[in-house]
Amino acid sequence: MDDKLKQMMDDAIWVGKNLFSRGKVSGSAANLSFRYDNKIYITRSGSCFGRLDIDDFSILSLDGTVLNEIKPSKEWPLHLALFQKDQSAEAVIHTHSTYATYWSCQKWDGLSELIPTPTPYLKMKVGEVGFVPYAPPGTQGLFEAFENSLKETNCYLLENHGPILADKTMLDAFYAIEELEEASKNAYLLKTL
């Protein structure tokens, strides 16, 4: 493993463990990936971010062919779609974090802000948040709904499911998913006060 790949793997493992320790993911309900040397390294099916290590990554070609013997997350097509959409993105994170998932379950009129955050940081650090209509997790219906919903942004709420976003590096994606969750929490608290 060359030095760059090792650093990217170390960053992915660090991010996974920190999302777990901060309560942003639980059990095996999340997945992350990074792109390196025309391959996608994605967490395996059923992996737990709290115990993540180098053996928990499936390697895929850019057409989705599995290149090692590790079964990838069933939602790998979402990651692939984001990598194909944005050639500058090198990392994707998908969680079921509490507050962002709350907003993914709200009825959205398609006109107002999806997450009505009062601070400027969500827009500054993440940008626009897109919306993907519901289809069951890991299904062709979800993958098609996702591809049909892609637009300029790299951040989406999957209806009744949770957030997914892509960014330039794994650490940038981590900062963005943290900001998304914090903005979602602030919006929730202001709504319920």
Report the domain count for the chain.
Answer: 1
Out of 36, 41, 121, 159, pick the active-site residue: 121
3-state secondary structure of 40: strand
Query: Residue 22: which CATH number?
Result: 3.40.225.10
Other CB atoms within 10 Å distance of the CB of residue 66: 14
Domain boundaries, position 50:
3-192
75 annotated active-site: yes
76-104 pLDDT per residue, tens: 999 999 999 999 999 999 999 999 999 99
Residue pair 174/18 in contact (Cβ under 8 Å)? The answer is yes
pLDDT band at residue 109 under the 50/70/90 scheme: confident
Burial 161-171 (b: 16+ CB within 10 A, else e): bbbbbbbeebe
Annotated catalytic residue, options 41, 69, 75, 113? 75
With a cut of 90, say whether residue 52 has pLDDT above it.
Answer: yes
- Where would I find the beta strands (DSSP E) of 104-149? 130-132
